[in-house]
Structure 1
Amino acid sequence: MNAIYAMGDLQGCYAPFSALLEQIGFTPQTDQLWLAGDLVNRGPDSHVLINRLYTWHERVRVVLGNHDFYALARWAGITPAKKSDTLALLLADPQVDEWMEWLRSSPLLHTDPQLGWTMVHAAIHPDWDIATAQGHADAVENALHDRHWRRFMRSLWAAPAPNRWQDCRNEEEAQRFRVAVFTRARYVTAKGFFSWPNTPPKDTAHEFAPWHQRFFEKQSSGAIICGHWATQGLLVQPRLLALDSGCVWGRQLSAARIDGTEPVIYQTSCPMFAQPDNK
């Protein structure tokens, strides 16, 4: 029987990825692998990892994370390297254009109606049902796939994203907001005000709450697979699989088999490749 597995943030950690694939018995000829974004950066082997995924691209479903957007911006010459950047070997590889074009063609949201799961890197706005969220993801994907995609990427880096959808005054701000929600969001208020900084907002006990708590309060349908939130760790709930368990920080890499009646969790230990900073 063919299996479908979902996996949390890889971030260039090829050795734990390979070990977890061996543990679950992944067969690329028949099985399918869902990856919740942040494939590259901070870990040591982004070039090896992306090469392996590219060879399996017909069996891999990827959604883009914030580090994947950053890698695309670095490749396009839009932003300089950050201190924590580990993309040098990837960007210098002769195959980098093929890899980055594949990454650029990847979505921000992946839904399988038969399985009942929707995968996103960070979050979905609590006011958006899955169909509405798909429309917002499509808007970003269309811009990213367009021949003027570098102009679009520059606009993402030109200014901070608004904190509320209602505060978006034009399409550029709307696109920044969409990308921020799908790739960076963690905390949100009941009125849809997001906190973008890495550090948690001070008022988490009252107005701010984890995005998925607000989402499930407002949306009666939709089961979500996500990553991005290493400090929150692995969360397995009836409608939620949060799979970022901090591999790059020396904790675990997590996977879930999702084609059965209940998800089955697998984990492998990871060496520390980066210092925790709430990512």
Structure 2
Amino acid sequence: MTATYAMGDLQGCYVPFAALLEQIDFTPQTDRLWLAGDLVNRGPDSHAVINQLYAWHDRVQIVLGNHDLYALARWAGITAAKKNDTLGPLLADPHTDDWMEWLRTRSLLHTDLQLGWSMVHAAIHPDWDMASARGHADAVEDALRDRHWRRFLKSLWDAPAPNRWEDCRNEEEAQRFRVAVFTRARYVTAKGVFNWSSTAPKDTTREFAPWHERFLEKQTSESIICGHWATQGLLVQPRLLALDSGCVWGRQLTAARIDLDEPLIYQTPCPMFARPDSG
């Protein structure tokens, strides 16, 4: 029987990844694997992770996370290495060009109507139904796959994203906003104001709440798989699988089998390669 598994943020942690694949008895010839983004960086073996996924490309469904976009920007020479960058071995590998060309053609949003799940790295705007979200994801994916993709990627680093869709004055700002929602968002107000910080907003007067609470209230027929939010940890709810359980921080790597009536959760312990405050 073919099985489909979704897995949280790997962040270059190949050894726990291999251990969890063995635990679930993953068979690449028949099974499918969904990955909720942030495949690389902070952990020690980003090159091994990408090499394995590239070899399984027709059995793996990926959505891009913020660390994946950062890796593309590093490869393209758009941004300098950050303090806790561990991408050196990946970028020095002779296969890097093939791997990164493949990575930049991955999705930001994936939906499987038969399984009844959609997957994103960070968030979906609560005001976007899945048709609208698909359109916004398409706009970013088309830009990343275009021959001018380097120019587009650089524009994401040139200025901060607006905090509200209505504040986007042009397509460049709209693209920054889309990317920030799909790859970085955590908190949002009822009026659609996002906080892009990795920490909880101090401004309580505008009633920030986790994005998925507001999304699931408004989009009542959708079921979402996401990663990105390790401080929140694993959440298993009737219409939500938040699978980032802090692997790179020395907690667990989590997978969920999603082709069953009720998801089955699997976890493996992970060594600590980074600290929560390491940027």
Q: Mark yes or no: TM-score above 0.5.
A: yes
Displacement of 1:197 in angstroms is 1.2
Hey, what does 1:85 align to over in structure 2? Answer: 85
1:129 aligns with 2:129: yes
Number of aligned residue pairs: 279
Please state whether the residue corresponding to 2:213 is helix, strand or coil: helix
Hey, what does 2:11 align to over in structure 1? Answer: 11
Structure 2 CA distance, aligned partners of 1:71 and 1:22? 27
Structure 2 CA distance, aligned partners of 1:21 and 1:204? 42
Hey, what does 1:162 align to over in structure 2? Answer: 162
Cα gap change, 1:26/1:93 in structure 2, threshold over 3 Å: closer, same or farther? same
Displacement of 1:204 in angstroms is 5.3
Hey, what does 1:46 align to over in structure 2? Answer: 46
Superposition map of 1:80-229 within 5 A: 80-203=80-203, 207-229=207-229
Structure 2 CA distance, aligned partners of 1:28 and 1:80? 36
TM-score normalised by the chain length of structure 1: 0.98
* Gapped regions of structure 1 (runs ≥ 5): none
Cα gap change, 1:176/1:255 in structure 2, threshold over 3 Å: closer, same or farther? same
Hey, what does 1:61 align to over in structure 2? Answer: 61
Displacement of 1:219 in angstroms is 1.1
Displacement of 1:46 in angstroms is 0.2
Structure 2 CA distance, aligned partners of 1:278 and 1:255? 25
TM-score normalised by the chain length of structure 2: 0.98
Hey, what does 2:250 align to over in structure 1? Answer: 250
Give the % identical residues: 80
Whether the aligned pair in 1 keeps the contact of 2:10 and 2:247 (CA below 8 Å) is: yes
Cα gap change, 1:217/1:278 in structure 2, threshold over 3 Å: closer, same or farther? farther
Displacement of 1:206 in angstroms is 6.3
Structure 1 CA distance, aligned partners of 2:4 and 2:188? 31
Cα gap change, 1:170/1:48 in structure 2, threshold over 3 Å: closer, same or farther? same
Whether the aligned pair in 1 keeps the contact of 2:120 and 2:182 (CA below 8 Å) is: yes
* Gapped regions of structure 2 (runs ≥ 5): none
Structure 2 CA distance, aligned partners of 1:21 and 1:153? 33
Whether the aligned pair in 1 keeps the contact of 2:84 and 2:278 (CA below 8 Å) is: no
Please state whether the residue corresponding to 2:169 is helix, strand or coil: coil
Displacement of 1:203 in angstroms is 3.9
1:213-234, CA deviations, whole angstroms, 9 ceiling, x for partnerless residues?
A: 0101111111000000000000
Cα gap change, 1:211/1:204 in structure 2, threshold over 3 Å: closer, same or farther? farther
Hey, what does 1:2 align to over in structure 2? Answer: 2
Whether the aligned pair in 2 keeps the contact of 1:231 and 1:278 (CA below 8 Å) is: no
1:90-129, CA deviations, whole angstroms, 9 ceiling, x for partnerless residues?
A: 0000000010011000000000000010000000000001
Please state whether the residue corresponding to 1:57 is helix, strand or coil: coil
Structure 2 CA distance, aligned partners of 1:276 and 1:250? 10
Structure 1 CA distance, aligned partners of 2:199 and 2:214? 19
What RMSD in Å do the two structures reach over aligned CA positions? 1.0
Please state whether the residue corresponding to 2:61 is helix, strand or coil: strand
Structure 2 CA distance, aligned partners of 1:277 and 1:115? 36
Please state whether the residue corresponding to 2:156 is helix, strand or coil: helix
Hey, what does 1:73 align to over in structure 2? Answer: 73
Please state whether the residue corresponding to 1:58 is helix, strand or coil: coil
